[in-house]
């Protein structure tokens, strides 16, 4: 049995690795019931979420994780809370961010999908 | 039927209002299954969570909310993501924070409790 911490660690490595190399490939992590709130803009479903992710104005980007907390949650879910820094191409100063993911099991499989995704830049 | 946004708004007003006036009274929001991760320190259950909250080094404190996002979540839950500023007595500069709450229904009632609570200061 894989622990919530193991699931969360594998997910976060995968998510930011894909985001920072070819973010169009994040689509497989979402499902029709998935929700993303990015800087207050709410999207639901893989298509709408990926349109938003693909439309973000920055080109090459790098996420650096500063803190990472995990708790098991309702429905055998895994709740994650990340704080870190976003380094975008051509920008000297990293931008602080916080992000929340809630993974839920995909019925009939050993896999998980992102039910909840909430992202905010932190202006200091 | 109360919407997740209405539940979340009422909760956040209540939570920070009580925290900033008499934080010992937050106990009624937690249950034995509740989890809190405060600056990476994990606690479970009302007693352990309230010991942590009551032991925090700051005296009088004021939370100012900058952003507040809400999504419905698994188990008829309400997931909240707050970013804001913490103003502590005697400190000139506010400290940035991010906090996540996941409320779950209390079985057999119309009420909710905090299943997940994750808090981080943001150092900039």
Question: Alpha-carbon torsion B53, B57, B62, B64, what sign?
Answer: negative
Task: Identify the residue among B106, B113, B122 best suited for mutation to test binding to A, counting A beta carbons within 10 A and taking the highest.
Answer: B122
Would you state the pLDDT for residue A59?
79
What are the beta bridge partners of residue B41? B38
Asked whether the predicted pLDDT for residue B89 surpasses 90, the reply is: no
Helix (H, G, I), strand (E, B) or coil at B45: coil
Report which of residues B42 and B57 the model is more confident about: B42
Would you state the pLDDT for residue A92?
85
Contacts of B104 (CB under 8 A, 6+ apart): A74, B75, B76, B77, B112, B113, B115
- For range A21-29, the mean pLDDT: 96
Count Cβ–Cβ pairs < 8 Å, chain A vs chain B. Answer: 86
- For range A41-70, the mean pLDDT: 95
Distance, in angstroms, between A119 CA and closest chain B CA? 9
Would you state the pLDDT for residue A79?
98
Domain boundaries, chain B: 4-122
Kind and range of the H or E run holding B23 = none
Check CB contact under 8 Å for B81 and A98.
Answer: yes
Asked whether the predicted pLDDT for residue A90 surpasses 90, the reply is: no
- For range B53-67, the mean pLDDT: 92
Would you state the pLDDT for residue A46?
98
Asked whether the predicted pLDDT for residue B92 surpasses 90, the reply is: no
Confidence of residue A30 (pLDDT cuts 50, 70, 90): very high
Confidence of residue B3 (pLDDT cuts 50, 70, 90): very high
3-state secondary structure chain A: CCCHHHHHHHHHHHHHHHHHHHHHHHHHHCCCCCEEEECCEEEECHHHHHHHHHHCCCCCEEEEEEEEEEEEEHHHEEEEEEEEEEEECCCCCCEEEEEEEEEEECCCCCCEEEEEEEEEEECC
Q: Does A40 touch chain B (CB under 8 A)?
A: yes
Task: Identify the residue among A34, A81, A93, A106 best suited for mutation to test binding to B, counting B beta carbons within 10 A and taking the highest.
Answer: A81
pLDDT in tens, B7-49: 999 999 999 999 999 999 999 999 999 999 999 999 999 999 9
Asked whether the predicted pLDDT for residue B53 surpasses 80, the reply is: yes
Would you state the pLDDT for residue B57?
84
Q: Does A108 touch chain B (CB under 8 A)?
A: no
**Average pLDDT value for chain A:** 95
Asked whether the predicted pLDDT for residue A109 surpasses 80, the reply is: yes
Would you state the pLDDT for residue B39?
97
Would you state the pLDDT for residue B91?
85
Contacts of A9 (CB under 8 A, 6+ apart): A70
Would you state the pLDDT for residue B22?
93
Would you state the pLDDT for residue B81?
98
Give the residue on B whose Cα is nearest the Cα of A122. B83
Q: Does B37 touch chain A (CB under 8 A)?
A: yes
> Which CATH code is given to the segment(s) B4-122?
3.10.450.50
Confidence of residue A112 (pLDDT cuts 50, 70, 90): very high
Would you state the pLDDT for residue A86?
96
Check CB contact under 8 Å for A79 and B118.
Answer: yes
């Amino acid at each position: 049995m894989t622990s919530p911490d193991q699931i969360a660690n594998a997910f976060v490595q995968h998510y930011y690795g894909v985001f920072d190399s070819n973010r169009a490939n994040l689509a497989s992590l979402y499902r029709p019931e998935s929700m993303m709130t990015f800087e207050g803009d709410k999207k639901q479903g893989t298509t709408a979420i990926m349109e938003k992710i693909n439309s973000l104005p920055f080109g090459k980007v790098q996420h650096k994780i500063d803190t990472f907390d995990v708790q098991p949650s309702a429905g055998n879910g895994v709740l994650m809370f990340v704080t870190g820094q976003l380094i975008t191409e051509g920008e000297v100063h990293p931008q602080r961010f916080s992000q929340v993911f809630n993974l839920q099991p995909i019925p009939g499989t050993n896999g998980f999908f992102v039910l909840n995704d909430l992202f905010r830049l932190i202006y200091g």
